[in-house]
Structure 1
Amino acid sequence: MHTGLFHTIDFDADGKVLDHLGLPFSVDRSPYFHVKVPVARIKNGDGPRVLLMAGNHGDEYEGEFALARLIRRLDPARMKGAVTILPMSNAPAVRASKRCSPLDGGNLNRAFPGDPDGTPTRRIAHFLEHELFPRHDVVLDLHSGGTSMAHLPCALIERHADPARQERAVALMRALGLPWGFIADNGPAAPTSMGAAARAGIIGLSGEFGGGGTV
């Protein structure tokens, strides 16, 4: 499948890999310039497959810092299954400390299902929904109030038509231990990471953790 991004990560290999997704973006100073989206892959045999992402909005620093620390701490020898970590999902926005990408004004959490031939933000969204999400069982997308507000700590899931999947999603939301939890009814065309996860046949969770530019 044409994805608009490229990488050299072997998702079936055990071990710990620190790499990046390459996003071609020709500019005046370099026709071969590409944006690097950092990714970590930690795997040891069969087991649960979890994708953790932050930096969906570039000024939401809490998740970005937390996942960067988690990458350093995770040891494949002490786990079973696989964890993929994207601490800077919308890397251009993160590097600019802005909610949206300075390359195209794109809000990644409104860009799904994306477009492999579209803007940088829409190409990232397409790769996540069609290539990365289906390799996992659960996606957790870490958010906060960004630089504009301090958000109520809470967890969110989409409502699933399948009762068994809905029950599991609620259990996972409760397991986050946050004081509030919300079930969204955004429908099958939702342009968010949770909507993308549902379309990929997996469970998507999102959480809001502070904000206000305090990190």
Structure 2
Amino acid sequence: MQQRKVGKYPFSIDVEGAKPIEAVLVVGKTEGKTLVVTAGVHGDEYVAIQAVRELLNELQPQKLRGQIILVPIINKEGFYEGTYLVPEDGENLNRCFPGSKKKSVTWRMAHALERSLYPKADFLLDLHGGSPYETMTPLVFFPVGAGKKVQELTRNAAQKLSLSYMVQSYAKDGLYSWAAQCGVPAVLIERGGGGTWSRVETEACKENIYQIMSFLDIIPYNKQRQIPVEIQDAHYETAVSRGYWYYAKTSGTSFRTGELLGRLEGEDGCVQQEIYAPYNGVILYHTHSLGVTEGMPLMAYGKVCSK
């Protein structure tokens, strides 16, 4: 029998006509599941990037079962320039799945990630956070509509995480959501925001990774500080024009049917948009910027799932 090569092994994910994406394979002592952990799809979401950076130093391969593929910063140029876009072509990587070898660099990055990571993953964990203009409650998105097996497995995994909400998602064009469409169980965790990172959020993000590792029987981890509330019927509101944004409810707060959640005013003070609650629910995240442009996210909210 061939001896297992336990250890940490850096490797590159080649992107045609662009710089490769750096990754690390951590091989455990015994056979087991393969977890893929990605961060930095958006270069300005810092909690996840720092968490994976620290986790790389903390992990001890001899104590692991199976293996972990860690991708600390996918959009490295965006990280250094402080933007969620890929600077080379101005695209949002998380809107470029499925990828394409025939399009610009961001689409080729998506294609390379699919080709390199999806076939190896028993489970994929994509780490994100709120944009510099967003305030966010810690949450996890899990896919619905990607098949019963994927849905139930990811729901069970989400229930093991210490965070506020687990949100049913019908998205299909992101790194994790396209993985789910391809039959790979995957979830997306959101932590942090406002263009900052903190020691508390970084430690909480690492804890979430350990909880997924434990769920996959890669390493024991039995701590769970809170159980997430499941959210259905999530709504994502965007600005109909540029103007002044006044939010009436903040991230993590509840509301009742008919309540005003926020309004958008033009430069003349006339109301351009009002958002009223269609049901009783909670705010998942909101934009805290006063000035917004057309199409900019304003807030997301959802309904607590009744079981």
| TM-score over 0.5 (shorter chain) | yes
Distance 1:145 1:102 in 2: 19
TM-score when normalising by structure 2: 0.59
CA contact (8 A) 2:6 2:62 kept: no
CA contact (8 A) 1:144 1:208 kept: yes
CA contact (8 A) 2:150 2:180 kept: no
Tell me the CA shift for residue 120 of structure 1: 1.5
1:142 corresponds to which of 115, 123, 127: 127
Query: Counterpart in 2 of 1:76?
Result: 61
CA contact (8 A) 1:46 1:81 kept: yes
Tell me the CA shift for residue 180 of structure 1: 0.7
Distance 1:142 1:104 in 2: 23
Query: Counterpart in 1 of 2:224?
Result: none
Query: Counterpart in 2 of 1:39?
Result: 23
1:40-189 superposed matches below 5 A: 40-44=24-28, 45-186=30-171
Q: Does 1:15 align with 2:7?
A: yes
Distance 1:179 1:199 in 2: 25
CA root-mean-square deviation: 1.8
Structure with the bigger percentage of strand: 2
Aligned partner letter, 1:23:
V
Name the stretch that deviates more: 113-122 or 73-82.
113-122
CA contact (8 A) 2:86 2:106 kept: yes
Tell me the CA shift for residue 43 of structure 1: 1.1
Relative distance call for 1:136 and 1:13 in structure 2 (3 A) is: farther
Aligned partner letter, 2:10:
L
Distance 1:13 1:132 in 2: 20
Tell me the CA shift for residue 71 of structure 1: 0.6
Aligned-pair identity in percent equals 29
**Larger RCO, structure (CA 8 Å, separation 6 or more):** 1
Deviations 1:36-81 (A, max 9, x none): 4221110124211111111011100110000000011112111010
Q: After TM superposition, what 4+ stretches of structure 1 lie above 6 angstroms from structure 2?
A: none
Query: Counterpart in 1 of 2:236?
Result: none
Distance 1:39 1:131 in 2: 11
Query: Counterpart in 1 of 2:206?
Result: none
SS of corresponding position for 2:22 = strand
Distance 2:55 2:146 in 1: 33
Distance 1:131 1:150 in 2: 33
Query: Structure 2 stretches of 5 or more lacking a match?
Result: 198-307
CA contact (8 A) 1:55 1:91 kept: yes
Distance 2:109 2:5 in 1: 23
CA contact (8 A) 1:146 1:211 kept: yes
TM-score when normalising by structure 1: 0.83
CA contact (8 A) 1:61 1:146 kept: no
Deviations 1:136-195 (A, max 9, x none): 111111111122222121110111453333221101111122111101123xxx211122
Query: Counterpart in 2 of 1:31?
Result: none
Relative distance call for 1:161 and 1:196 in structure 2 (3 A) is: closer
Distance 2:114 2:69 in 1: 14
Relative distance call for 1:13 and 1:199 in structure 2 (3 A) is: farther
Query: Counterpart in 1 of 2:187?
Result: 205
CA contact (8 A) 2:142 2:186 kept: yes
CA contact (8 A) 1:54 1:64 kept: yes
Distance 1:161 1:146 in 2: 27
